[in-house]
Amino acid sequence: MEELAGRIRERVEDYADFPRPGIVFRDLTPVLRDPELTRAIARRLAEEAERRGATALAGIESRGFLFAAPAACALGAPLLTIRKQGKLPGSTLTEAYDLEYGSAELELQAGSVAADGDRVLVVDDLLATGGTLAAACRLLESAGARVAGLAVVVELDGLDGRARLKNYNMFSLLRL
């Protein structure tokens, strides 16, 4: 696993003062330009999902989709898409959450979770403060799913995201 973390770190690019002064943006786009690395990440996430008994994976818009989709394919499991408000057709379930300045909402199409309640591994690209992942978990639970765990490619230490998600089993490939 340390080898995979090192390969990810080599590809992550840091942008100071983006999107605003004082923020260091960790760009995972270069990771996705490396097909072998992307495949290795997908395999590792699929292994983690299988280890936790997940019957489905959920990707959080938008970069979470890029890692959850190939992992779901590798596992042979359904992919649930958690999107920003107003992006999904039909009936949806909604969960509001607070941002640093304001609030936002996540949505899941009604009926996405199996009637007997999927065990879902929730996947995102990066964990910072944990607000989005926490809202995604509440949304899935309100739909009848059981959260099998949380998986991120990169976890930023020092922002207390893991502490905010202490009720869930957290997995990260790289901690910065």
Domain at 63, CATH number: 3.40.50.2020
Structure confidence at residue 103 (pLDDT): 87
Global pTM? 0.95
* CA torsion angle 61 132 27 9 (round to 10): -120
- The pLDDT tens digits of the residues spanning 93-140 come to 999 998 766 789 999 999 999 988 899 999 999 999 999 999 999 999
- The pLDDT tens digits of the residues spanning 137-160 come to 999 999 999 999 999 999 999 899
Q: Which domain holds residue 6?
A: 2-175
Number of domains in the chain: 1
Active site residues: 63, 100
Structure confidence at residue 100 (pLDDT): 65
The radius of gyration of the chain's CA atoms, rounded to the nearest angstrom, is 15
CA distance 17 to 13: 13
Mean pLDDT along residues 78-91: 97
CA angle, residues 93, 113, 44, in degrees to nearest 5? 115
The closest of 42, 46, 47, 41 to 8, measured between CA atoms, is 41
